[in-house]
Amino acid sequence: MKTYKTLFPILILSLLFLSACATVINQAGSGMAGNLHAAIMNQDDPEIVRDGAPAFLLMLDSFIEGSPNNAPMLGAAAELYAAYGVLFVANENRANRLTRRAFDYGQRSLCASNATGCDLESITYQQFEEQLAQMEEDDVASLYSLGLSWIAYIKVHSEDWGALAKLPRVVSIFNRVQALQPEYQAIKVEHFLAVLNTIRPPALGGNFPAGKDHFERAISLSNGKDLSIKVDFARFYARTLYQREIHDRLLNEVIAAEAYQKGYTLFNILAQVEAQQLLDSAEDYF
């Protein structure tokens, strides 16, 4: 089984950081959200993005102190704490604390948005599905934030079978987001569903036909500009099924592509590094 270090790689969790930063500024009322998001997405030095994260964490905590039931702010905190805890923290105990806080914020966000969504972690799966069915379109943003923070929590705690057993709930959350508002973060949701359906072997519940469809839709929706999708397609789908031809084709396409694409540059710089690493290790893997 993959360890927490290989589950949900940096390309996936970067999505949390970017959307959360924009939400922070937007909720603060400065009108800078769009420009901030564009600046980060078009940044070709990931270290700059990493170094700026702690200031946003403290800013979010201060906003929540003053407005503890603000669902969008709680959702932004869930996403940013999740991203920082997974991407930039090597110490396991610290990562545990940060992703636990992220998950708590995610649950609080949904609870503030819709009281039916409180305590989704502790109830039975049947009860979870029943309560999820009661979520409405206004709850989509909080559902999305909860799903992302839950992914981060599972990643850091992936040696805990109890945490891993909750993966189907995360899949259900993103499926519900799609059902309620198909256009909401459509590329990211497709990308997450693709990974969630292929991160486990078929014998352990992975749904590879569904995962392949999600990967292909994500690539199509991004017009092929988001190279991170192809990297994860190779990593989770092709490697697990030992399909070397698909694996190498996807990764070579990533390396040959132009990384500087408006709105995708940061992802693509990271994607090309990971693509080369996967190709370099292919002989040993296959």
1-179, what's its fold?
1.25.40
Query: Residue 102: CB partners within 8 Å, gap ≥ 6?
Result: 77, 78, 79, 80, 81, 82, 85, 149, 152, 153
List the domain boundaries for the chain: 1-179, 185-286
Q: Centre a 10 Å sphere on the Cβ of residue 138 and count the other Cβ atoms it contains.
A: 12
Structure tokens that stand for 165 in this block: 């057993």
Among candidate residues 151, 213, 147, the one with its CA nearest the CA of residue 176: 147
- pLDDT, residue 200, reads 86
- pLDDT, residue 30, reads 44
Half-sphere exposure of 96 (CA within 13 A, CB side): 8
- pLDDT, residue 128, reads 95
pLDDT means per 10 residues in the chain (286 residues)? Answer: 41 52 51 51 62 78 90 88 81 92 95 92 92 96 94 85 88 96 94 91 92 97 94 95 97 96 83 94 96
